[in-house]
Amino acid sequence: MRLSAEYELLITQKWILTPEVEVNLFGKDDAELGIGSGLSDVSAGLRLRYEIVREFAPYIGVDWRQKLGNTADYARSEGEDTQETQFVIGFSAWF
């Protein structure tokens, strides 16, 4: 099961701050894929965008992800980090 939520906070009519959170839960262990049962990982992000026009908006942001429980144990056994932070830049567009 995946639960996610995001909300748009209007700072001004052009500047919009969007926090988002996502949680992944699994019913059983899958060692081949490196996924543990229960609460597997949590991720959170924060994006600031500027709407040049409603259909086109560049943004900057940060994403954070943490592996938990057995998923973190699988990652550690493979020599991977259980936490990561990424800085993002891009644009959203729709037609």
**Overall domain count for the chain:** 1
What does pTM read for this prediction? 0.80
Query: How far apart (Å, rounded) are the C-alpha atoms in residues 16 and 63?
Result: 17
What is the pLDDT at residue 45?
A: 97
Note the pLDDT of residue 37: 86
Residue in 43, 59, 52 with CA at minimum distance from that of residue 8: 59
54: left (phi over 0), alpha (psi -120 to 50) or beta: alpha
For 41, the domain range is: 2-93
DSSP secondary structure letter of residue 82: S
Question: What was the pLDDT predicted at 10?
Answer: 96
CA distance 40 to 38: 6
Q: How confident is the model at residue 25 (pLDDT cuts 50, 70, 90)?
A: very high
Other CB atoms within 10 Å distance of the CB of residue 64: 13
pLDDT tens string 33-92: 888 888 999 999 999 999 999 899 999 999 999 999 889 989 998 899 999 999 999 999
Average pLDDT score over the chain: 93
Q: What percent of the chain shows pLDDT beyond 90?
A: 74
